[in-house]
C-alpha cells in the first residue's frame, strides 16, 4: 500500500471509531436521563456496525478521504424518545452535547498519547512534530510511526466531528441546544428547513467549515508542540 492509501485507511478506521464513540455517548446519556430506547436497541456500543449509515458513514467519508477533504459524515441517528426524560429540555440538551463532548475527550486522549511519544526520544519528537506539516510517517523506520500517525488522525478527526456536530443547523447536535431558546413558531420553521441548511453547509460551506474547525485544530496543535 502506498502512503496515501495507508493514510486513507487510517482516516476511515478512525472515523468509524469516532462516530461509534459519538453515538454511544448519546445512547448512554439518554439512558442515564431516563430514556432506555437506544440502550434496548443495542446502541450503547463501540461496534461500528450498530451505527453505520450507508451514505453518511461509508460513501461520503470515503469520497472526502480520497479527494483530500476533511473526513466528514454521519452515523445512523441514535433513537431518543424525549417523553421519557425526567427533565425534557435539559436532558435533551445533555444528550445532544454528549456526542461532541465524547469526541473532544477522545481527541484530548490522543493528544496526550502523542505528547508521551514525543517525549520518549528525540527521533520520536521529530516524528510527531513532522505530522503537523503533513508528514505521513511512511518514510520513517521508527516502530512508533504507525501509532503516531493513527493517534494524529484520531485527534484531528474527533476534533472535526465534534465541531461539525456543534453547529446549530438541524439535525446536528448543536440545533438541539438552540431550538429550546426559540419561540414555538420559529422552532417549527427551524426544524422543517434545517436539513436544507445542512446540505448547503456540507456542499457549499467548505470555507465556513474550515474557519470554524481551524481554531480548534490550532489550539490542540499549540499544546502538542509544547511536549
Q: Give the residue numbers annotated as catalytic, written as ranges.
A: 23
Q: Which DSSP symbol is given to 44?
A: S
CA distance 180 to 221: 34
Plot region of 70 (φ>0 → left; ψ -120 to 50 → alpha; else → beta): beta
CA distance 193 to 105: 32
- Do 195 and 189 touch, CB atoms closer than 8 A? no
CA distance 38 to 43: 5
Amino acid at each position: 500500500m502506498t502512503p496515501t492509501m495507508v493514510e486513507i485507511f487510517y482516516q476511515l478506521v478512525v472515523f468509524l471509531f469516532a462516530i461509534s464513540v459519538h453515538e454511544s455517548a448519546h445512547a448512554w446519556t439518554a439512558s442515564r436521563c431516563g430514556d432506555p430506547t437506544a440502550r434496548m436497541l443495542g446502541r450503547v456500543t463501540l461496534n461500528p456496525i450498530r451505527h453505520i449509515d450507508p451514505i453518511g458513514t461509508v460513501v461520503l467519508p470515503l469520497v472526502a478521504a480520497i479527494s483530500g477533504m476533511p473526513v466528514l459524515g454521519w452515523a445512523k441517528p441514535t433513537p431518543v424518545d424525549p417523553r421519557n426524560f425526567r427533565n425534557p429540555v435539559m436532558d435533551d440538551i445533555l444528550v445532544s452535547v454528549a456526542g461532541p463532548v465524547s469526541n473532544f475527550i477522545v481527541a484530548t486522549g490522543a493528544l496526550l498519547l502523542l505528547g508521551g511519544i514525543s517525549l520518549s526520544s528525540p527521533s520520536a519528537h521529530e516524528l510527531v512534530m513532522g505530522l503537523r506539516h503533513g508528514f505521513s510517517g511512511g518514510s520513517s523506520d521508527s516502530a512508533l510511526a504507525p501509532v503516531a500517525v493513527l493517534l494524529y488522525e484520531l485527534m484531528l478527526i474527533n476534533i472535526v466531528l465534534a465541531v461539525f456536530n456543534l453547529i446549530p443547523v438541524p439535525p446536528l447536535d448543536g440545533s438541539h441546544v438552540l431550538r429550546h431558546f426559540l419561540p414555538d413558531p420559529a422552532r417549527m420553521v427551524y426544524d422543517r428547513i434545517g436539513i436544507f441548511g445542512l446540505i448547503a453547509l456540507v456542499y457549499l460551506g467548505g470555507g465556513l467549515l474550515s474557519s470554524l474547525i481551524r481554531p480548534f485544530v490550532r489550539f490542540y496543535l499549540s499544546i502538542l508542540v509544547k511536549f
